[in-house]
Structure 1
Amino acid sequence: MKVLVASLLLVSLVLSSCFVEEAVATAAAASPPSPMPPPGFCESKCAVRCSKAGRQDRCLKYCGICCRECSCVPSGTYGNKSECPCYANLKNSKDQPKCP
């Protein structure tokens, strides 16, 4: 009886470790960390991006958040989001585009 319990415990430990390794590998592959942009990068890029915005303070805030998360900002004052897919794909809590 003791041998049976011990072998079942060993088998369950081996199986659970396989699932944990797979889950960690999947999570790491799903969201690779983006490198931090150099100091001043986001501020200068967002200043250009938000230069024609009606609510500059809000535009600069969200552009900065998106830039720090994605390490890129699309060129121009509007559109061109295909240049930075991460920036284009970020959504707010209402499932609307987060980045200006």
Structure 2
Amino acid sequence: MKKTMWILLLTFALSCFFASLAFAAEEPLGQEAKKFIGLACGLAIAIAALGGGLGQGIAISKGLEGIARNPEAQPKIFIPMIVGLALIESLVIYALVISIMLYAKL
């Protein structure tokens, strides 16, 4: 219990310390940095879509395989599978939002 409390306290202290660095005033971006932000936007959404697509494909494959082996377990497999797919898709949407935020910096 004490160890967990110390870890939480240290995490809070470090996040407070680094918050000032995260919200510090930024200098204007140069042309070279703008190119890399555009590249980062494209890579962020591409990697997220690739990972999300692979994750959804594997989840659906294993879920349907389980249902095919035991059709009576369909209600126990189907609902958690749909929730899992929604959570996987939410990660891709988060990557899209971050990509849009990076693009807005241009």
* TM-score scaled by length of structure 1: 0.30
* TM-score scaled by length of structure 2: 0.29
Return the structure number with greater relative CO, CA threshold 8 A, min gap 6: 2
Q: Computing the radius of gyration over CA atoms, which structure comes out larger, 1 or 2?
A: 1
Q: Please identify which structure carries the higher helix content.
A: 2
